[in-house]
Amino acid sequence: MVGHDDIGIVTNITSIISKENGITLRSIGIESNDGLFAGTLTVMLSDTGRWKL
C-alpha cells in the first residue's frame, strides 16, 4: 500500500485490522520518503470465502 505519511499511520492501520474478526496480521513493513509511505502487510484469513480477494 502507498499513502500520505502521517504520525500514527502504522497504529491506525494495525488498529483497523485488529478489529476485524478472522484476520491475523503476521507482518508489516513500512518505509517513508518525502511525505509518502509504502508498505506491505502479510495477513492470515480464517475463512477466505468471507473476503473478496
**b/e 36-52 (16+ beta carbons within 10 angstroms → b):** ebeeeeeeeeeeeeeee
Residue 37 lies in a domain: yes
Total structural domains within the chain: 1
* pLDDT tens by residue, 19-34: 988 899 999 999 999 9
pLDDT of residue 9: 85
pLDDT of residue 37: 93
pTM of the model: 0.65
Residue 50 lies in a domain: no
Residue 39 lies in a domain: yes
Q: Which domain holds residue 27?
A: 7-45
Residue 34 lies in a domain: yes
Residues with Cβ within 8 Å of 10's Cβ and at least 6 positions away in sequence, in order, are 28, 30
Residue 53 lies in a domain: no
Give 46 or 16, the one with higher predicted confidence: 16
Percentage with pLDDT > 70 across the chain: 91
Query: In angstroms, rounded to a whole number, what is the distance separating the alpha carbons of residues 31 and 25?
Result: 18
Q: Which residue has the cell 494495525?
A: 14
Q: Which residue has the cell 505519511?
A: 5
Is the pLDDT score of 42 beyond 90? Answer: yes
Residue 51 lies in a domain: no
Residue 24 lies in a domain: yes
